Amino acid sequence: MTTQSEEYSVGQLARLSGVSVRTLHHYDSIGLLSPAHTASNGYRIYGRAEALRLQEILFYRDVGMSLGEITTILSKPSDALARLTRHRARLVQQVARTSKAIDTLDLTIAHLKGDRDMAIEDLYQPFAPAKQADYEAWLIETYGADMAEHIAASKQAIAEVTDGLEGLMVKLRDVEARLVEAYEADHQPGADELVVVLDEHRALMGEFWGRECDAAAYAGLADMYLSHPDFVARYERLSPKFSGWLPATMKAYAGTFEAPCP
């Protein structure tokens, strides 16, 4: 059994973990991972607890979480065992979804090769409603308990909209198609030509949420698009590197107004 008295210099921990010394210094400077103590020679010294915390940080970084999100998660009043158990459950669900997606891809490839027929309903097997539950759990864990109230309000708002979620998604696909056109036309974030379509996008977010979509909320949405791998993958499918352009464009636009959604 490993004892709790083990100690590692910053260089030793860097070599063991594969994380650079510079990164460990940065984690210390932002309060994400501090050493157990500093030796008389000024060297940072890490123990078993810090090594485990670094491992947890790396688990979250591996799924695309930002350092800000990780800091928020680790600052919550729950222990590492509970956090890692939840994280494992999410990964198991993700593996199951990925496996199903691969199976459907194999079927589609065989269909396109002419090797087999494929029913229309089989085209959409990987995109089950259960994925929405995963997003909601991720939002609540990442942004706090208040997010549960926002999610409930959003569901109520969507239920009251004509044509419901399906109608809103039709609008969203139209707006996103025009944003992709603007991106592929090489419009840069902050360009005046983008204001009209971004006004529509922000207003539509207000419809989805059932509340005002102010500058802070719109910029926060941009951060979420950047931080969740599923959103990144979705926008990359629309156009290569669009996943980076869209959040940058949303943030530039959010910096120009303070008014609520139109």
3-state secondary structure of 258: coil
Most confident of 98-107, 118-127, 140-149, 240-249: 240-249
What's at 12, amino acid-wise? Q
| 260 confidence band (pLDDT: 50, 70, 90) | very low
The more confidently predicted of residues 4 and 32 is: 32
Number of continuous H segments (helices) and E segments (strands) in the chain = 12, 3
Q: Looking at residue 211, what DSSP letter applies?
A: S
* CA nearest to 141, candidates 89, 86, 96: 86
Show the tokens assigned to 239. 């156009």
Mutual angle of helices 48-62 and 67-74, in 10-degree steps: 130
Give the containing element (helix H, strand E) for 9.
Answer: strand 8-9
What's at 162, amino acid-wise? T
Q: Kindly write down the DSSP assignment for every residue of 33-65, as one continuous string.
A: S--SEE-TTS-EEE-HHHHHHHHHHHHHHHTT-
Most confident of 20-29, 78-87, 234-243: 20-29
Sorted by sequence, the CB contacts under 8 Å of residue 118 that are 6+ apart come out as 107, 108, 110, 111
- Whether the pTM exceeds 0.75: the reply is no
Domains of the chain (ranges, CATH numbers): 8-62 (1.10.1660.10), 145-262 (1.10.490.50)
Instruction: Please write the tens of the pLDDT for every residue from 182-208.
Output: 999 999 999 999 999 999 999 988 888
End-to-end distance of the chain based on CA atoms, in angstroms? 62
Q: Which residues pair with 46 in a beta bridge?
A: 8
Backbone angles phi, psi at 256, to 5 degrees: -100, 0
Sorted by sequence, the CB contacts under 8 Å of residue 243 that are 6+ apart come out as 225, 226, 231, 232, 233, 234, 235, 236
* CA nearest to 50, candidates 19, 85, 87: 19
